[in-house]
Structure formats: C-alpha cells, structure tokens
Amino acid sequence: MDSILVEPLIAENFADFGQVIQLDGATHYPINNGMTERFHDLARVELGGVHARPLISLFRGQPYELPLNLPLVERHPLGSQAFYPLSANPWLVIVAEDDGGTPTRLRAFSPTPGQGVNIAMNTWHGVLTPLVAISDFLVVDRGGDGNNLEEFHFAVPPIVRHAPAAEG
C-alpha cells in the first residue's frame, strides 16, 4: 500500500497544481481612503465550458484523522477550485499528477494558518480534508453547463501519514 507523507505547503512546491493563497509576498496597496489594505490578485480563477460563471460558496467540512485511507480523488475539467479556511484549524491539501486520466505521484500538503489554495483546472485532488475539528472554508469555483466533476476511485487506497519527526 502506498504512503503519502504530509509536507509543508510552500508556493514553489505547489506550483504544478495551482496557487497558494497567502499574504506573504502578495502585491498589496491601500484603498478606502487608507483604511483598508488590498492584497491583490492572489489566485488565477479558471472558467471553461458553456455559460461558465464563478461561484462563491461556504463549505463546512467534517474532520478526518491521520493516517487516512484515501479512497478517491476528483478533478474539475471546466474550472479551478479555491479553498480558503475561515479558521486556524489544521487541514490538508492532497493533489496528484495526471497520467493519461489516472492520478499518480500523489502529494499531501499541510497549510499554515492563513494559507489557502487555488487548485488549477483539471487537477486531481482529494476531498476537503480538515483535521481535528469541523471547519468552514470560503470556496470559489465554477458554475455553468457541462459536467465539471470526475472522480477516480483507487482499487487499493493510498494512506496519508504524518512525516516522521526529524531527530536531532
């Protein structure tokens, strides 16, 4: 059975799967007569297909425990999908490369508080995976005509595990 070790979420390591939404390094400037700081253009919203339109939703996810048997991943061929946590509760982002319609080389990332992700269009990813507590997320994705969901069910689910603690 394959194991997927959780790694920190770093923008450069996530770039093949989408963007990390965070304030660090973001273009920003004051607005509203200097009373608000705008952190601008943090992710690339992708919308494809017929009558595409952006959706803004709230998702409330039930917590998972590690190690986690990962029965399936999904992807959205017609749009990106952004997740931004509304609490500091821990959560995971699980993504995979594509090999002719089959997810491969799965990776699991652990965001720090204040980090979200925008998963690129047609990128395999795990379901919303909060840890420890029920957690709310602001989600921006695609609405419109067409089938925007594909699921892949693993014959033998890989297991997501914490990386071993460094000895020192």
CATH 2.60.120.480 fits 3-161, yes or no: yes
How far CA 148 is from CA of 9, 16, 53, 142, 144, in Å, comes to 26, 20, 12, 8, 9
Sorted by sequence, the CB contacts under 8 Å of residue 63 that are 6+ apart come out as 130, 131, 132, 133, 134, 135
Query: What integer pLDDT is reported at residue 41 of this predicted model?
Result: 95
pLDDT value of residue 164: 77
Phi, psi of 18 (to 5 degrees): 150, -150
Tell me, what's the pLDDT at 2? 83
Residues 11 and 113: beta-carbon distance below 8 Å:
no
Report pLDDT for 98: 97
The structure's pTM equals 0.93
The domains of the chain are located at 3-161
Q: List per-block mean pLDDT (blocks of 10 residues) for the chain, which spans 168 residues.
A: 90 97 95 96 95 97 97 98 97 98 97 97 98 97 96 97 72
